[in-house]
Structure 1
Amino acid sequence: MGRDRAVTVSTDSHGHTTGWARSGVGRPPVPDPSAAAFFDVDNTIMQGASLYWLARGLAARRYVTTSDLARFAWRQLRFRIMATEHPGDMSLAKEAALAFVAGWRVGDVERLTEEIFDELMAPRIWPGTRRLAEAHLAAGQRVWLVSAAPVEIGRVIAARLGLTGAIGTVAEVAAGAYTGRLVGEPMHGPVKAEAVGHLATVEGLDLASCTAYSDSANDLPMLSTVGRAVAVNPDGVLLRQARRRGWEVRDFRTGRRAARIAVPSTAAVAAVAAGLALHRRTRPD
């Protein structure tokens, strides 16, 4: 049941490539074709970073390369904690994130991601955020995930949660296998807003009737693109902006956990990378 899966690569008005993909999740006819909701993933839909949980699952299966994961973890620590995210560095960081799957078959990675979602990610979906997404679906609106993580992760999460689809960073594929390089820019910051705008054009959406959810100030461009913005488990900068702009705030965390959750979600990647030194790595055939 549902539509076949398909990955689509689009270009903006300047000819720059951005990536987005449908999840392949079929839904009944949509009563409200002009409205949709866009959800960031890490710390918005789920506790922590989706790439961390994927890395942890791959580590348990001995499929990852320690050096590539460690380099990625270090860049993520710099960006998240020191707020030094620059477009060039982001490209390098996402290249590092994809390097360890170079040569792997797309089907193998999708199968592993599905297994790891069920094992490690599903228990960490925020129930409150899931209810928000389900409310949009119940109102006859489409719901899309928008993440800087590889689109395959978003596609699996969307499918498992019964959402419409996913927008994410696109990895280059040749002959059914990943090359370890990106197609276009990482789905981050202004690129997210551009992708949402492009999707709205393709899907016939009215952005003024749409809603966006995120935990991070990095997503201010996306949040500012739609008619209704909601800060979910917001970082300090986003919380201040939300209060200044009169945006709704939803926080599903409590106490000290609310103040500290953003750092462990990224720092834990480095801990996993260090632990991988104890394992021998193999790759899927």
Structure 2
Amino acid sequence: MQRLTLFDLDDTLLDGDCSELWNWEMIDLGWIQHSGEFLAAAQNMQEAYHAGKLKLETYLKMTLEPLSGRDVATVTACVTDFVQRRVLPTIFAQAKETIALHRNAGDTLVVISASSRHLVEPIAVALGIPYVIAVEPEIVDGRYTGATMGVLSYRSGKVARLQEWKQQQAMKDGLYMTFYSDSRNDVPLLNVVNRPVVVNPDPVLAEIAAMEGWQRLDWRDSDAS
């Protein structure tokens, strides 16, 4: 039986949120004006996300706007440097071990995230995960527009995007699917996989996992590496 293992990214594989870290990086790069207002708004939206109330479209409109008009090569170079300096040190040691375990078992590995592909993909590459399902930023004539394309990989959108991806990969029915996630926002996808695993779960997801008998992992009990 073919096995598909899915990983959420933020607060699951890494101790933190790559988009939040990137916001600070864009400030350092001088790409964001009125940084105090920006960070206050971003913080409010992060709190809404963790409460299961975020309208992701609003967050993306604000956080992708600084990329508008910038060419892909420039952004890619900045993100590559950012990932090495600020993201990889936050990856949980247990995440690396778990990825290796599934890779060695011959599973197909996918990161499925509500963050933008321009951040998620280089992190996945660094972790040796070949496939990515993420928010798709719009690119026209080699430049970001600040908009997004297609269904957002968020809440039930993750289920829809996964189904679309499986069709693109010509994967047959009968896959054994495992999904690791920390967030109540991922309950729609956790409910449809064969093996849901909650990692560092938020309070709502922790309660759901206990009721459903889902496996729970608490990677913050040890230092990240």
Q: TM-score, normalised by structure 1?
A: 0.72
After superposition, the Cα gap between the structure-2 partners of 1:194 and 1:207, relative to the gap in structure 1 and judged at 3 Å, is farther
Partner of 1:150: 116
Matched, 1:57 2:25: yes
Partner of 2:48: 79
Indicate the larger mover: 73-82 or 183-192.
73-82
Matched, 1:111 2:67: no
Tell whether the 8 Å contact from 2:23 to 2:63 is kept in structure 1 after alignment.
no
Which one of 64, 74, 80 corresponds to residue 98 of structure 1?
A: 64
CA-CA distance at 1:37 after TM superposition: 0.8
Tell whether the 8 Å contact from 2:200 to 2:217 is kept in structure 1 after alignment.
yes
CA-CA distance at 1:46 after TM superposition: 0.3
Tell whether the 8 Å contact from 2:109 to 2:130 is kept in structure 1 after alignment.
yes
Aligned residue identity for 1:77: Q
CA-CA distance at 1:74 after TM superposition: 4.3
Distance 1:38 1:69 in 2: 32
Long gaps (5+) in structure 2: none
Which one of 39, 55, 58 corresponds to residue 70 of structure 1?
A: 39
Number of aligned residue pairs: 221
Aligned residue identity for 1:244: M
Cα deviation digits, residues 76-134 of structure 1 (max 9, x gap):
2341355423xxx3212211111111011112112111110100101000111221111
Aligned residue identity for 2:84: D
Aligned residue identity for 2:39: A
Q: Summarize the alignment of residues 164-243 of structure 1 with structure 2, pairs less than 5 Å apart.
A: 164-203=130-169, 204=171, 206=173, 208-243=175-210
CA-CA distance at 1:36 after TM superposition: 1.3
Distance 1:143 1:104 in 2: 31
Tell me the secondary structure at the aligned position of residue 210 of structure 1: strand
Aligned residue identity for 2:215: E
Partner of 2:104: 138
Tell whether the 8 Å contact from 2:4 to 2:175 is kept in structure 1 after alignment.
no
Aligned residue identity for 1:175: D
Distance 2:136 2:88 in 1: 23
Tell whether the 8 Å contact from 2:135 to 2:152 is kept in structure 1 after alignment.
yes
Aligned residue identity for 1:47: D
After superposition, the Cα gap between the structure-2 partners of 1:115 and 1:187, relative to the gap in structure 1 and judged at 3 Å, is same
Tell me the secondary structure at the aligned position of residue 60 of structure 2: helix
Tell me the secondary structure at the aligned position of residue 162 of structure 1: coil
CA-CA distance at 1:254 after TM superposition: 3.0
How many percent of aligned residue pairs carry the same amino acid?
Answer: 24
Tell me the secondary structure at the aligned position of residue 238 of structure 1: helix
CA-CA distance at 1:207 after TM superposition: 6.0
Long gaps (5+) in structure 1: 1-31, 258-285
Tell me the secondary structure at the aligned position of residue 165 of structure 2: helix
Aligned residue identity for 1:237: V
Aligned residue identity for 1:223: L
CA-CA distance at 1:202 after TM superposition: 2.6
Aligned residue identity for 1:50: C
After superposition, the Cα gap between the structure-2 partners of 1:81 and 1:247, relative to the gap in structure 1 and judged at 3 Å, is closer
After superposition, the Cα gap between the structure-2 partners of 1:56 and 1:70, relative to the gap in structure 1 and judged at 3 Å, is closer
Aligned residue identity for 1:158: A
